[in-house]
Structure 1
Amino acid sequence: MLPEERFNALVDEFRASPGVAVPGEPGRRGFGSSALKVNGSIFAMIAGGRLVVKLPRDRVTALIGSGAGAPFDAGKGSAMKEWLTVTTDDEGSWLALAREALNFVGSAHRSSRG
């Protein structure tokens, strides 16, 4: 399965989740329009044919250390500490990491408003 097809499966999985916006919804243009968002913040996207997810910094470091991911550089010359480029290609890993990212970004948004 191609990365885009696997990402589309994630889109289908999260489409009905509370607060989640998926690519292709009306009014979504510009940066992040092809990403999965929760409460307006990106939690998962495709970049360079790979899944990229937002997770806590320590978790990103651990996943890089285990070989499950690599640092994500948005083209500015340095790694973004809370973003992971997923290097595993199995659907189960993608779903688990995307779900973890949804929970992280969703909970961070809630706690910053309280």
Structure 2
Amino acid sequence: MNPGISEQARAEYAEVAAGLESAGVVTGSMFGNPCLKIGRKMVAGLFGDAMVFKLPPEPRERALDLPGAQPFDPGMGRAMREWVLVPLAQADSWPEFAELALEYVRE
């Protein structure tokens, strides 16, 4: 499943990517969608009009408390354990969760 991505979501994602560039994060592709990687590890990505983040337990629970957020299922019928989908309506939280995801992936 490859949901469409709006221009607004792409713009918000680009801002997050620019904010992590100095930390060595690069753009790539995962599940046919844009993603952010450090080395070969995925930190976050776009999925439709939402961003997905790989988060440790406490930040993951905080993310899931946001309206519209949910465990991330890329369309295989099963959520990915550490991943959370945060909708465009919550884009103001994307930079924070991207930073937390980067810290987590680097561990």
Cα displacement (A) at 1:50: 0.5
Whether the 8 Å CA contact 1:3–1:50 is kept in 2: the answer is yes
Structure 1 contact 52–85 (Cα < 8 Å) conserved: yes
- Asked whether the 8 Å contact 1:36–1:42 carries over to 2, the reply is yes
Residues 98, 12 of structure 1: alpha-carbon distance in 2 compared, 3 angstrom cutoff: same
Q: Which has the larger radius of gyration?
A: 1
| Runs of 4+, deviation exceeding 6 Å | none
> Contact 2:50–2:88 at 8 Å: present in 1 too?
no
**Are 2:44 and 2:54, in contact at CA under 8 Å, matched by a contact in 1?**
yes
Partner of 2:14: 8
Structure 1 residue ranges without an equivalent (≥5) = 24-28, 108-114
Aligned mates of 1:88, 1:101 — CA distance in 2 = 17
Give me the whole-angstrom Cα distance separating, in 1, the residues matched to 2:54 and 2:8: 21
> Which segment is superposed worse, 49-58 or 75-84?
49-58
Q: Which has the higher contact order (CA 8 A, sep 6+)?
A: 2
1:101: how far off?
Answer: 0.4
Whole-angstrom CA distance in 1 between matches of 2:31 and 2:86? 20
Q: Does 1:96 align with 2:101?
A: no
Number of residue equivalences: 100
Deviation at 1:106, TM superposition (A): 1.1
Aligned residue in 2 for 1:67: 66
RMSD after superposition: 2.4
Percent identical residues: 27
Residue ranges of structure 2 left out of the alignment (5+ in a row):
1-6
Q: TM-score, normalised by structure 1?
A: 0.73
